[in-house]
Amino acid sequence: MKPVPFPAGVTNANWFSFFNAISFQIFLGPPVILYAKSLGASATMLGVIASLAPLLTVFQIPAAHHLQRYGYRRFVLTGWGMRNVCVFAVVAVPLLGFLSNGWKLALLLVFQIVFNLLRGIASGAWLPWLTEILPEEVRARFLSRDQRFLQTGSLFALFFCGLVFQKQSHPWEFSLAFLISGIGGAISLYFLNRMPDVQTPEILKQSGVKVPWREIVTYPPFARLVGFNLLSTFTYGSIAVFTVAFLKTVAFPDGRAGFGENQILFLMAGSFVAGVISLDFAGRLLDALGSKRMLYGALGLHLFFLCGWVALASGLLAPGMVPLIAIFVVMGVASSAINLANLRLVMGVMPEMGRSHFFAFYSVITSLCMGAAPILWGVCLDAMSGFKAHMGPHGCFEWNRYSVYFVALLGLTVATFLAATVIDEKKPRPSEVGR
């Protein structure tokens, strides 16, 4: 059957995702974590930096009341444009040689707060906008393509930083990375402005009346999906931060300590390569099997790569590029699959009436959990600093702060799998969604 065509102009959303990913993958991802680490940030401080993006999405709820006044495109465009000023401001921070590392870290934190505040306000319009633009029968196909653009942009950002950074990077290298982040964000605005706006004022108007929050929170399919996402975001919301921190501190058998910053970024880029390559196959599986079965498979892959992290952190497996490449490849595939399936479930569950507020509440409650995860784990990791115990034949398994962390994530993944079994899923239509 011939596939249903995409709405006119929607390809601009994919190019927006590509350049936006270049921007946020540097400013919110591993490069900024490595920069903070180079300034002497503790695990708790790294957790705070990682938590800002999800925590400040709480401002989506008050922002949802104003969508009917400005419209989706204008709302997102204004917020994304203002936040990009913060990225260009941070370009100068690594070059301020007269400031101590503590002051540089404080400046970085201030600009991160403002950036994520603006992002939190503006992002409340993004998913409702996409949902209005995209008919249900093309969403799986669009989402798989959009994830491909997004992950390719993330891959480009990390690969570029890996080429620029050295084992012990210099301030100008971080400044150059932040400059590329700002340029990527500026280009993304061009494509954002070319996306079709939604000409349905009656739907937007309904978002301005008094919000029945009790009915929203107790709507059974929505409540079950939120419960699953709370568990999954708490489980995986900190992993990108503390795998970077772990790789910087891992002890090699020959006495060396830590991987170089360029090595870590290339490994991270490898996970995006795997994610991009797997997306087309994942999209086909999503259409054929449905979202829940895709979630089960993705969570199985999460169990697999977490076992790899446990083996590395406990000393059962010697640190090296070969096992790490395998772990990051599986991480990339698993992340792509779970994001794709979950986005499709979210778009299918949200009712048309009050959609903006459903999306706002969903984004805020799950993001608060994701924001709490790195802070809580950062505090725990700092509290366990220096902790070591051995078990097994000849003490082959070492309990330390990172092996405890990864074992805990294994247990939470099992709980997440159980939560996925009660999610409601719409019956898929006969595959109008061809490729």
Q: Where are the domains of the chain?
A: 11-420
| Per-residue pLDDT at 306 | 93
Task: Give the tens place of pLDDT for each residue, 126-171.
Answer: 777 777 787 777 776 787 788 889 888 988 898 888 888 876 678 8
| Per-residue pLDDT at 1 | 53
- In the CATH scheme, what architecture does the domain 11-420 have? Up-down Bundle (1.20)
pLDDT higher at 284 or 331: 331
**Of 422, 419, 155, 170, which Cα lies nearest the Cα of 279?**
155
Task: Give the tens place of pLDDT for each residue, 354-386.
Answer: 666 677 777 778 878 888 888 888 888 888 888
| Per-residue pLDDT at 209 | 52
Q: Quick one: average pLDDT of 7-22? A: 88
The pLDDT of residue 25 is above 80:
yes
Longest Cα separation, the chain: 70
Rounded-to-integer distance, Cα 287 and Cα 4, Å? 14
**Of 48, 55, 39, 45, which Cα lies nearest the Cα of 90?**
39
Q: Quick one: average pLDDT of 3-29? A: 85
- The percent of residues in the chain predicted with pLDDT above 90, rounded, is 20
Rounded-to-integer distance, Cα 108 and Cα 404, Å? 30
Residue 23, both tokens: 């921007």
pLDDT higher at 48 or 9: 48
The pLDDT of residue 313 is above 80:
yes
pLDDT higher at 75 or 174: 174
The pLDDT of residue 254 is above 70:
no
pLDDT higher at 204 or 18: 18
Q: Quick one: average pLDDT of 429-435? A: 36
The pLDDT of residue 308 is above 70:
yes
| Per-residue pLDDT at 104 | 92
| Cβ pair 47, 374 in contact under 8 A | yes
Q: Quick one: average pLDDT of 13-31? A: 90
For 92, list phi and psi in degrees, rounded to 5.
-80, -20
Task: Give the tens place of pLDDT for each residue, 26-78.
Answer: 998 888 988 998 888 888 888 888 888 878 877 776 766 666 667 778 888 88
| Per-residue pLDDT at 430 | 38
**Of 239, 268, 279, 25, which Cα lies nearest the Cα of 153?**
25
Task: Give the tens place of pLDDT for each residue, 70-128.
Answer: 777 888 888 888 889 999 999 999 998 888 889 999 999 999 999 988 888 887 777 77
Task: Give the tens place of pLDDT for each residue, 187-216.
Answer: 999 998 888 877 544 544 554 455 566 777
| Per-residue pLDDT at 432 | 34
Place of tokens 């995006």: 272
Task: Give the tens place of pLDDT for each residue, 237-253.
Answer: 888 888 888 888 876 65
Helix, strand, coil percent content, the chain, rounded in steps of 5: 75, 0, 20
Residue 256, both tokens: 């060396």
Encoded amino acid at 56, one letter? L
The pLDDT of residue 395 is above 80:
no
- The percent of residues in the chain predicted with pLDDT above 70, rounded, is 86
| Per-residue pLDDT at 65 | 67
- 102-116, 386-400, 404-418: which has the minimum mean pLDDT? 386-400
Rounded-to-integer distance, Cα 293 and Cα 284, Å? 13
